[in-house]
Amino acid sequence: MLERGTEEPCYELRTKINLKVQEKSQPTKRMVG
């Protein structure tokens, strides 16, 4: 059901959200990575 056209923007949004969550939950992991 997932289309490549909608997969890219959704994945990008999820990545940005995940990065923000990681920064708040694990700031040390961001420094290492």
Return the number of other C-beta atoms located less than 10 Å from residue 23's C-beta: 11
Per-residue pLDDT of the chain (33 residues; tens, 9 = 90+): 556 655 667 778 888 888 888 777 766 666 665
Alpha helices in the chain (DSSP H): 4-25, 27-32
Gyration radius of the chain's alpha carbons: 13
pLDDT of res. 11: 77
Give the length of the chain.
33
